[in-house]
Amino acid sequence: MSYTSTEKIWDVRYSQDLTDADSAISIISDTLKVSRIFATLLYNRGYTTPTAAERFLKFEDDLLHDPYLMKDMDKAVERLSAALENKEKICIYGDYDVDGVTAVTTLYTYLKSFGADVSYHIPDRSTDGYGLSLSAVEKLARQSVELIITVDTGVTACEEAQFASRLGMDMIITDHHECRPEIPDAIAVVNPHRPDCPYPFKELAGVGVVFKLICAYEIMLCKKQGRDVLEGVREICNSYIDLVAIGTISDVMPLKDENRLIVKKGLSLIENTDRIGLSALIDAISAGTLTKSASQYPTQKKKRKITSGYVGFGIAPRINAAGRISKATKAVDLLLAESPKEAAALAEELCEINRQRQIEENRIAEQAYVKIDESFDPKNDRVIVVDDDNWHQGIIGIVSSKITEKYGRPSILITYDSSNSGFPSPGDVGKGSGRSIKGVNLVEALTSCADLLEKYGGHELAAGLSVTRSNVAELRARLNDYIRAGISLDKMRPVVEVDCSLTADEITLETASELYLLEPYGISNPTPVFMLEDAVIQKIIPVGTGKHTKLILSSGGKTVLAMYFGMAGINFEYIVGQRVDVLFNLDINEYQGVKSVQLIVQDMRPSYKLDCEIFAAKELYEALSQDESLAVPETVIPSREECAAVYTAVRKEFRSGKNTFTEPELLSLVNLYCAEAMDYTKLVYILKIFNELKICRVDADKADGISLFRFDIYNNPNKTNIEKSSILKKLRQRCRTRK
C-alpha cells in the first residue's frame, strides 16, 4: 500500500496479513533464530528463503571477480610493468572528490612500494575545472612525464589523449563514469561501463577500478614469482581496501556484488586502522576539533563503531571539503601522512575547511531558494536550473543535492568565473553541477543538449557541465522539454520506501542492535526505514541553536525520543498534542556510558488514523445536517466544560499569534485541554455554537485543498451561557427523541 504526504509518497513494503509474505517471514525468523522484524527486513530485500537470507548475512554470494575480465586490463598491466621496469616518470591524474582522492592515494602508495618515480596531479576545481585539460597535459610534458594514469576521470578526454600522444606521453585511463560513443585513443581505457567491456559488475567506484588494476598487477607478479595468487590478492585487500571502501561509500555506489564485500572488509579495517592520517581524522571528528600534539595522544583510545553512515557523514565530507574550497592534495597528504604530528595538523585543517564549507553551503542554498521561489513553476517545470555570479564552484554540487531533495526535481546550479571583473557578458563560461532523481538520467538529458554545452559528463544521478551564459535559458527550456517527454509529473514525486510499521513496544535496544547484522548499508541495501503510526507529540525541543528538533513522542502508553536533524524549530509545522505518523531510522545513542534507543526522523505527516476518524466524523456531521429526522448520538453533544476547554485552547494560541489551524491541528490542540478525547463532530458543533452566541468568530476555509479554521477572539467578550444556544437545544432534543 502507499500513503502520501504533501511532498513524498510513503511506499510501505510490508503490512500485516500479506499471506505469502507472512508465511515466508515466519520461516526465516524460526530457521535463523532472528526476530520477526529482522526477518521482514531480509524478505523486503529479496531474501525470501532461509538459505538466501543466510547466504546474504554471511556474504557467501559476494566474490571478487577476476580483474582481467575488464576490457584493456591486460594492456594496462603490460604498460605499467614496462614503466616500472624502465623507471619511467609516471603521473597519476585524479579527480578532486573523495573517490578521486582515495584512488590517487591507493595507486600512488602501491607504485611507491616498488620505488617508482611517481607523482600525482589533481586539478583545482575553481581554476582548472573537471577532468583532464590540454594545459595540464602540456604542463606534465614539460615535467618529462612519460606515462599518465588517470583515476576516476578521463573516459571522455579524447582530445587530451591525442594531445598527450603528440607530446610523446602514453596514457592509461581508469574511470567509471558513463562513456560517450567515442573512446579516447589511449594505451588502455579501463572502465566497466565501456559497451565492449565484459566485466560482470558495472557499478565499481573510480577507486574500485584502481583496486582492480593493482589486483591485476599483483596477480601478474604472483604468477611470475611463483607465489599464491589468492594470497597476493588478500595482501592487496589488507593494505588498501579501507581506502577503496571510503571512496565507494562516498561516491554512493550500490552496495551489492563485490562492492558489498569491499565495504564490509574496509569498514573493519577502518575500525582498527593503523593508517596514521585516517586515525587522526577519526580522532578529530570525535573531538569536534583537534588540538593535541602527538605526545598528548592517549595510549589507549575508545574504539568507535565504524559504519557506512559514519564514513558517509563523518569522514567523507571532510575529505571532500578540501577539493571543494581548498586543495584536494591536502586530503591526499593526510592519507599519506607518516607522522602523528603532521596528521593531527592536517586533520584539524580539514575539519576547519569543512566548517567553512558548511557556512558557504548554507549561504548559497538560501540564495538559490529565493531564486527558485521567484521563477519555479512546480506544475510545469520538470527541472530546476539556476545561476549566479557569486557562488563557489566547489559547493554548488552539494546545494544541488539539497534542492533536488527539497523540490523533488533534477536540479543544476551554475556559477560563472570572474574573468570579466564583475561585468557579466553573454560569453562568460559557467561551470555547473547537477543532481537528478530516479527515472531521469541526467547525462542522457545533457546529451540531448550537447550542442549548447562546452563540456559535460558524469553519472545517471550526478553530472558536471560547462555552458556559456547566453545558452543557459535555452538549456533550461530544452531540458524541461526532454524530461517532460519522458516522465509525467506524478511520477516525479519522491518516493520513500518504508520497510514496515513498528509499535512503540517494538522500538527497543534489542531491535536496534540486531540491525547491525544488515550492515553495510547503502544503495541496494538501504538503512531500514520504519513507520510509527498515530503517535502524539508530547514535547518539542530545539537543539543545536535551533537547527535541529528533538521530539518526545508517546504511543500505546510508552514514550520514545526522536531526533529530527535539519528540521529547524521555526520550520516545524506540528504542535504539542498533535497526532502524527513518523518515518524513521532506528539508532542507538550512547551518553556517559548509557545506551538508549532513539528515532532518527526522516519524514512526518498528520496521523492517517486521525484523518480517517475526521473523515468518518465529517460524514456523520453531513448526514445529521442534511436529515434532521436522524437521531443525534449522545457522544457528539458538548458539555459546558468541553466548550470552555475549546475556547481556552484557541484563545491561548490566538494571543501567541496563531489564529489558523488545520482540522488535525485543532483537534490535537483541543485534546490537550480536555479530560477525554474529543470527537471531531462534537468539535464542529462547538464551533457553530461559538459563532451563534458570538463567543468568538470562526470561519471555515480551504487552501490548496486543505480544510482550515480561522479564529477571531473578541477583545471583551460578554459572559455567555451555552444553554442559550438553539443549536445545543436542538441537538439534545434529537438525542432524546432517539431514546
SS (H, E, C) 416-474: ECCCCCCCCCCCCEEEEEEECCCCCCHHHHHHCCHHHEEEEEECCCEEEEEEEHHHHHH
* Grid coordinates given for 650: 484557541
Q: Which residue has the cell 466548550?
A: 643
464 — phi, psi (to 5°)?
-120, 160
Looking at residue 408, what is its pLDDT?
Answer: 86
- CA-based nearest residue to 699, from 712, 686, 689: 712
Q: Same domain, yes or no, for 161 and 240?
A: yes
Contact, 662 vs 707, CB < 8 A? yes
Task: Between 229 and 3, name the one with better pLDDT.
Answer: 229
Residues in a beta bridge with 591: 594
For residues 379-396, give the mean pLDDT.
90
User: In the beta sheet, which residues pair with residue 698?
Assistant: 711
Q: Total structural domains in the chain?
A: 4
CATH of residue 427's domain is 3.10.310.30
Strand partners, 416: 430
Residue at 220 is within a domain: yes
CB of 190 closer than 8 Å to CB of 73: yes
Closest CA to 78 of 219, 230, 254, 262: 219
- Picking from 462, 493, 524, the residue at the C-terminal end of a domain is 493
Would you state the pLDDT for residue 736?
A: 66
pLDDT at 298 over 70: no
50-83 residue pLDDT tens:
999 999 998 877 789 999 999 999 999 999 999 9
pLDDT classification of 406: cutoffs 50, 70, 90: confident
Tens of pLDDT along 246-282?
Answer: 999 999 899 999 999 999 999 999 999 999 999 999 9
pLDDT of res. 18: 67
171 and 30 fall within a common domain: no
Q: What is the model's pLDDT at position 628?
A: 85
**What residues have CB less than 8 Å from 154, skipping those under 6 apart?**
93, 131, 132, 160, 161, 171, 173, 174, 175, 184, 186, 189
Shared-domain flag, residues 249 and 147: yes
Q: What are residue 391's phi and psi, to 5 degrees?
A: -100, 140
CA-CA distance, 552 to 532, in Å (whole number)?
Answer: 13
584 and 627 belong to one structural domain: no
Alpha carbon distances (Å) from 369 to 195, 342, 402, 407: 40, 40, 10, 10
- Would 423 be classed as within a structural domain? yes
User: pLDDT exceeding 70 applies to what percent of the chain?
Assistant: 93
Last residue of a domain, one of 493, 517, 543: 493
> Rounded CA gap, 597 and 552, in Å?
13
* pLDDT range class, residue 677, cuts 50, 70, 90: confident
Grid cell 532506528 in the structure block, residue:
586
**According to the model, what pLDDT value does residue 208 have?**
97
Query: Which residues, listed in sequence order, are joined to residue 707 by a DSSP beta bridge?
Result: 702
Q: Final residue of a domain: which of 272, 293, 309?
A: 272
Say if 34 falls within a structural domain: yes
Q: Which domain holds residue 439?
A: 376-493
Whether residue 380 has pLDDT greater than 90: no
d(CA 463, CA 396): 12
Q: Are residues 91 and 137 in the same domain?
A: yes
The verdict on 466 and 563 lying in the same domain is no
Is there a domain that residue 468 lies in? yes
β-strand partners of 586: 599
Q: How large is the average pLDDT for residues 337-343? A: 95
Helix ranges (DSSP H) in 272-419: 276-287, 308-310, 316-325, 329-336, 340-375, 396-407
**Residue 155: which pLDDT band, with cuts at 50, 70 and 90?**
very high
**What pLDDT is recorded for position 54?**
94
Domain presence at residue 322: no
715 close to 709: Cβ distance less than 8 angstroms: no
Does the pLDDT value for residue 1 go beyond 60? no
Which distant-in-sequence residues (6+ apart) come within 8 Å of 229 by Cβ? 219, 222, 223
If you average pLDDT over residues 414-437, what whole number do you get?
81
Radius of gyration of the chain from its Cα atoms, rounded to whole angstroms:
31
**Do 111 and 229 lie in a common domain?**
yes
List CB contacts of 505: < 8 A, sequence separation 6 or more.
556, 558
CATH number of the domain residue 617 falls in: 1.10.10.10
Separation in Å, CA 193 to CA 126, 223, 260, 424: 28, 28, 19, 39
Find which of 90-104, 583-597, 704-718 is predicted with most confidence, using mean pLDDT: 90-104
Among left, alpha and beta (phi > 0; psi -120 to 50; other), residue 704 is left
DSSP string, 359-385: HHHHHHHHHHHHHHHHH--TTT-SSEE
Q: Is residue 295 pLDDT above 50, yes or no?
A: no
516: domain CATH number is 2.40.50.460
- In degrees, rounded to 5, the angle at the alpha carbon of residue 107 between the alpha carbons of residues 106 and 112 is 105
How many CB atoms lie under 10 A from the CB of residue 501? 15
| Residue 290 pLDDT greater than 50, yes or no | no
Say if residues 283 and 334 touch (Cβ distance below 8 Å).
no
Say how many residues make up the chain. Answer: 739
Task: Report how far residue 293's alpha carbon sits from residue 281's, in angstroms, rounded to the nearest whole number.
Answer: 14
pTM here?
Answer: 0.79
My answer on whether 113 and 216 are in the same domain is yes
Separation CA 142–CA 91 (nearest Å): 12
Question: What is the C-alpha to C-alpha distance for residues 589 and 602, in angstroms, rounded to an integer?
Answer: 17
> Would you tell me the crossing angle of helices 316-325 and 276-287 to the nearest 10 degrees?
100
Written as nine digits, the cell of 11 is 511506499
Q: What is the mean pLDDT of the chain?
A: 90
CATH number at residue 171: 3.90.1640.30
Q: Which residues contact 405 (CB under 8 A, 6 or more apart)?
A: 494
Listed in sequence order, the residues at least 6 apart from 296 whose beta carbon sits closer than 8 Å to its beta carbon are none
Residues 124 and 122: their CA atoms lie apart, in Å, by 7
pLDDT for residue 263: 95
Give the integer Cα–Cα distance in Å for 431 and 672: 54
Residue 542 forms part of a structural domain? yes
The answer to whether residue 596 sits within a structural domain is: yes
Range from 8-12, 95-99, 513-517 carrying the lowest mean pLDDT:
8-12
How far apart are the C-alpha atoms of 673 and 645, rounded to whole Å? 5
Q: Which three cell numbers stand for residue 595?
A: 545506551
pLDDT greater than 60 at residue 297: no
Same domain, 456 and 517: no
Cβ–Cβ under 8 Å, residues 467 and 430 = yes
Average pLDDT over residues 637-646: 93
Judged against a pLDDT cut of 90, whether residue 535 lies above it is answered with yes
Please give the biggest Cα pair distance in the chain: 106
More confident residue, 177 or 294: 177
What own/partner pairs with CB < 8 Å and gap ≥ 24 does 732-735 have? Answer: 732/637, 734/624, 734/628, 734/630, 734/631, 734/632, 735/631, 735/632, 735/633, 735/634, 735/637
Task: Report the pLDDT value the prediction gives residue 422, as an integer from 0 to 100.
Answer: 61
Q: How far is CA 247 from CA 174, 218, 580, in A?
A: 15, 21, 38
Residue 712 pairs in a beta bridge with 697
Average pLDDT over every residue of 484-512: 89
Q: Which pLDDT score, from 0 to 100, does residue 737 have?
A: 58
Are 387 and 414 in contact, with CB atoms under 8 Å apart?
yes
CA distance 212 to 219: 10
What gap in Å lies between CA 601 and CA 581, rounded to an integer?
A: 11
pLDDT band at residue 292 under the 50/70/90 scheme = very low
How far is Cα 158 from Cα 538, in angstroms, rounded to an integer? Answer: 61
Pair 117, 262 in one domain: yes
CA 204, CA 241: separation in Å to the nearest integer?
13
Q: Phi/psi zone of residue 593: left (φ > 0), alpha (ψ -120 to 50 degrees), beta? A: left
Question: What 3-state DSSP class applies to 596?
Answer: strand
Same domain, yes or no: 430 and 464: yes
- pLDDT above 90 covers what percent of the chain? 68
The reply to whether 206 falls in a domain is: yes
pLDDT at 480: 93
pLDDT band of 379, cuts 50, 70, 90:
confident
CA distance 397 to 325: 12
Higher pLDDT among residues 438 and 414, named by residue = 414
Residue 5, pLDDT above cutoff 50? no
Q: Are residues 650 and 717 in the same domain?
A: yes
